[in-house]
Structure 1
């Protein structure tokens, strides 16, 4: 099969679903969306607490592992990534966070015109339907729901009161640009169901005649004519197929697989491609470099009262009650998910804005999504917001089915090490503060006997894990290691953009899903603006292919 669309989008994840909707919206352009996974029909995707059911799912999750990381006692860290319509937005923890105003202003100050806070705020507002109501920083007309947690939990209230006692103000809105505060998170849910980008953007658009979605399509590489991207080769049902793009190919495969596809296609570090006999199309040494992630330090406590989600899940009757509550009222623990409480504050003297974030969960397990402990447990998970450590993503073979090398290099800088130590110490301050102290029987991990900086750092190395925010591997900018410009066009290549978490020059201060939706909203506007400008002509043999023929063939 060799057929043609105006735009070919690779990846139906957090960004790709947005692009598929917005680029096909006016009916003027034909769009083909390629996704390696299946549609999002698995019921547990849509129930917020089903996060635990998809964390290790062999179909809906890529289930990647990093290389042995020297900063983490040479452990291989599990990195789940969505392989389904909606991508990671279909399997994530649902936290609705934008990041700080200073994050985006720093992008603009580094030369990325149009990416300051005042520039991106309209796209955040355009995307959202926020139950806080419309205002200077919020919208109510967008497809992506931001829902406040109405129910109050005594453990979460204790966490909030402890932070307040330490001088942190209570807030009901972390998304004004100024994050400092403690309170309940908003979630990407709607009426007790997950509101992924597949639900918010793709499902409403899927029946458009100018949009075709090809599931279970594993992209192999991009094809070029000279320095112009013209087609995408993918494997489906054991056969290689080709889709041509009249206007653009848009990579939205995520921070791990967008650089992998570029490298497999001949765009990347010349020496790396030479190792695997991949013909060089264009040398870009930054493809796959600049990898950043938030390292999660999960501190676990035993509660003095049987009020945790652990207790709910261990009792057949309480599980039944939870199920009935969700079934009839779309409320209760099943409608909220894992983490309820949030906290942004500063622990380092030099920080001008919050440098750590908490995810407070009313359950505990040995790992995120793992089996809950047999005691009444809860988790205070802390992460450094702006790590200095940098890693990479690099292919290890010319085989597209071979996962790339992923090396985060966690805790490879002194600031990162000192910040996680300070984060653990601040967590203990919270635990020792009146309102929360009364609810704590003991510190399960790391254990109160671990007191020195060296012991705390060793705990972080041995138990730290990702909080699922790998970013930065196709960074936006104009320096020698930049991959895309401020309109997300790949440097040196025509007709090719990257639109996902990989374009972040620096990691935002918080969860990455909502920022990716904003990036895709802004990218769609830029792509449509550029589509009406004069461009180089696509070869006639390709242009002759009709989108109607493609739709018929699919």
Structure 2
């Protein structure tokens, strides 16, 4: 077994891992090793925004997990794609840039996590962002992560926005602005027709540094401890096992599924669970793998009265040639914007004081996200409850980290989630029934007439057709209580030299897509780590004078 020594070892090159490794390596005095189980991000389907439909099923680029049977979802095992390449899920996601609501982060702080309120995390969102609209109090224009407008208007999205306005929703041209509520176009993590993943944003410029070493095809299989201190990581490539040692810290960035699994197979977790799979207990932390949350997507599909959908363009060789030429000449069109172009944030439940439901509007339709498009002019209006009450778990199935863990989201297990699902479907139909939308709707393909019999039929549709929208969080929850896994500095409770830095630390799910928040967590973690390394008593807020951020190089 070969052994090498580094200052920091980052496990997982996803949204958080890429950002964290790049930021830590800005200090030339430290050596950083980044381990990624998947291959390099060389596939053209990663970099072409519409390639989402290909990477969604790739055995090479995707972990292709499945959940346990879901009792409230007709006993189905749901497909859970997760990125397995440089950039992680940011290399295969739907590209939407959403931060969430102020109240999400103020809620984290209120749960006993100082430093995580909206006012305290906003500077990290701004620092990470290079928004094509320029800098403002809420946006950055010099960060590594490119954020772009979709550009051209689409008649379907325009009609949806007009339909939302007809029921009283405002038009919103910036869902990351002062208010999230309303309908409009999404901004995407793209630049000039290309996907701008965390690997492209952070790793590509950082890999010029001699103190950052990136290993792909390197699956972490366990943590190495000396007493209560994590001192390294065992990893495997092919049939050979290696060990890397960390003089400073081991940083888990493997995501809400695999960060808890890696802790568990290393003996950190619920003693009863570890005993049941034959893993010797090193440190009892019953919360590891618990508190799993995810957004459940419900997709309404409509046949359009006009041949203006992406389905129409993809059905013929002429249409495919036209959109390919549009992208080649102008870096625009369907190939450049992915799947969902527009959306909305609404209050579907009467008692809600802020948006509780997110809409995604896609100018195409398929039986499932990333599937083959329908043979008719189709479009999709999907809804998801923003802050579900249902809680599940992720548990290692065996001591072998190469075996997929057991995933149990427990969708719709909370009564309020079932009520919210029905309310969201009613809200979608209310918009589609307005004159601006009705002119484009030939008929509702799903749920269809069978789901017009009342709330019970809509709930049955949710159970039968609901699926993940790929936002799992919470399985290494941050907090001050005994059930938490990490503290507010993201250090694993009761251990030294070990932090978790990814979406698994979120106490509660943010109100929207999770990529931007995962990057923010990594940006803040980098400051926490560097301040502690400098010997300060407590991590201070971000000050631009503290760090030499090579924004120009990162954004080039």
TM over 0.5: yes
Distance in 1 separating the partners of 2:38 and 2:129: 26
Say whether the 8 Å CA contact 1:13–1:89 is kept in structure 2: yes
Q: Structure 1 residue 332: deviation in Å?
A: 0.8
**Distance (whole Å) between structure 2 residues aligned to residue 390 and residue 131 of structure 1:** 37
The answer to whether the Cα contact below 8 Å between 2:39 and 2:217 also exists between their aligned partners in 1 is: yes
Alignment of 1:18-167 (within 5 A): 18-167=19-168
Task: Give the conservation status (yes or no) of the 8 Å contact 2:287–2:483.
Answer: yes
Instruction: Tell me how far apart the structure 2 counterparts of residues 218 and 336 of structure 1 sit (CA, whole Å).
Output: 32
Question: Could you say what secondary structure the match of 1:15 adopts?
Answer: helix
Question: What are the Cα deviations for residues 318-359 of structure 1, in whole angstroms up to 9, with x where unaligned?
Answer: 110100111121111100110000100101122111000001
Q: Which residue of 2 aligns with 1:263?
A: 264
Work out whether residues 108 and 114 of structure 1, in 8 Å CA contact, stay in contact via their aligned partners in 2: yes
In 2: Cα distance, 1:176 partner to 1:477 partner: 28
CA distance in 2, matches of 1:154, 1:275: 56
Q: Say if 2:496 is the partner of 1:494.
A: yes
The question of 1:482 aligning with 2:479 is answered no
> 1:208 maps to what in 2?
209
- Paired with 2:147 and 2:178, the residues of 1 have a C-alpha distance of 16
Deviation at 1:177, TM superposition (A): 5.2
Q: 357-366 vs 177-186, which deviates more?
A: 177-186
Q: Do 2:392 and 2:410's aligned partners in 1 also have CA atoms closer than 8 Å?
A: yes
CA distance in 1, matches of 2:450, 2:214: 55
d(CA) in 2 for partners of 1:494 and 1:329?
52
- Per the alignment, residue 440 of structure 1 pairs with 441
**SS in structure 1 opposite 2:109?**
helix
- The reply to whether residue 455 of structure 1 matches residue 457 of structure 2 is yes
Which residue of structure 1 aligns with residue 522 of structure 2?
A: 520
Partner SS state of residue 451, structure 2:
coil
Q: CA RMSD in A?
A: 1.0
Q: Residues 63-96 of structure 1, C-alpha deviation per residue, up to 9 Å, x if partnerless?
A: 0000001010110000000000000000000000
CA contact (8 A) 2:20 2:523 kept: yes
Shift, 1:401, TM fit: 1.1
Alignment correspondent of 1:551? none
Contact 1:101 1:178 in 2 (8 A): no
Q: 1:504 aligns with which of 503, 506, 509?
A: 506
Give, in angstroms, the shift of residue 448 of structure 1: 2.6
Partner of 1:542: none
Structure-1 separation of matches of 2:535 and 2:368: 50
1:291-310 equivalences in 2 (<5 Å): 291-310=292-311
1:417-462 per-position Cα deviation (integer Å, ceiling 9, x unaligned): 0000011111111111010000000000000331211111010000
SS at match of 2:220: strand
Q: Which moved more, 1:384-393 or 1:443-452?
A: 443-452
Query: What is aligned with 1:3?
Result: 4
Mapping of 1:331-350 within 5 angstroms?
A: 331-350=332-351
Superposed displacement of residue 176, structure 1 = 2.4
Q: What is the alpha-carbon distance in structure 2 between the residues aligned to residue 293 and residue 188 of structure 1? A: 21
Aligned residue in 2 for 1:394: 395
The Cα shift of 1:274 comes to: 1.1
Give, in angstroms, the shift of residue 284 of structure 1. 0.4
What secondary structure sits across from 2:450 in the alignment?
A: coil
Instruction: Determine if contact 1:294/1:467 at 8 Å carries over to the other structure.
Output: yes
Q: Distance in 2 between matches of 1:448 and 1:515?
A: 39
Query: Which residue pairs with 1:469 in the alignment?
Result: 471
Give the whole-Å Cα distance in 1 for the aligned partners of 2:476 and 2:194: 33
Q: CA deviation at 1:264?
A: 0.5
Structure 1 residue matching 2:258: 3-state secondary structure: helix
Whole-angstrom distance in 2 between the partners of 1:402 and 1:300: 36
* Structure 2 Cα separation of the partners of residues 325 and 373 of structure 1: 23
Matched-pair contact (CA < 8 Å) for 1:158–1:436: yes
Number of residue pairs matched by the alignment: 535
Q: CA offset at residue 488 of structure 1?
A: 0.3
Q: Distance in 2 between matches of 1:104 and 1:4?
A: 37
Which SS does the other structure have where 1:516 is aligned? helix
Matches within 5 A, 1:280-359: 280-359=281-360
Does structure 1 conserve the Cα–Cα contact (< 8 Å) formed by 2:309 and 2:364? yes
Q: Are 1:417 and 2:442 counterparts?
A: no
The whole-number CA distance in structure 2 between the counterparts of 1:134 and 1:423 is 34
SS of residue matched to 1:82: coil
Question: In the alignment, is the contact (CA less than 8 A) between 1:100 and 1:177 conserved in 2?
Answer: no
- Alignment match, 1:229: 230
8 Å contact 1:364–1:379 — kept in the other structure? yes
Displacement of 1:396 after TM fit? 1.3
Please report the TM-score for the alignment, with normalisation by the length of structure 2: 0.95
Q: Which runs of 5+ in 2 are unaligned?
A: 538-556
Deviation of the 1:26 alpha carbon: 2.1
Q: Distance in 1 between matches of 2:449 and 2:96?
A: 30
Segments ≥4 residues shifted beyond 6 Å: none
Question: 2:11 touches 2:251 (CA, 8 Å); kept in 1?
Answer: yes
In structure 2, what is the equivalent of residue 247 of structure 1? 248
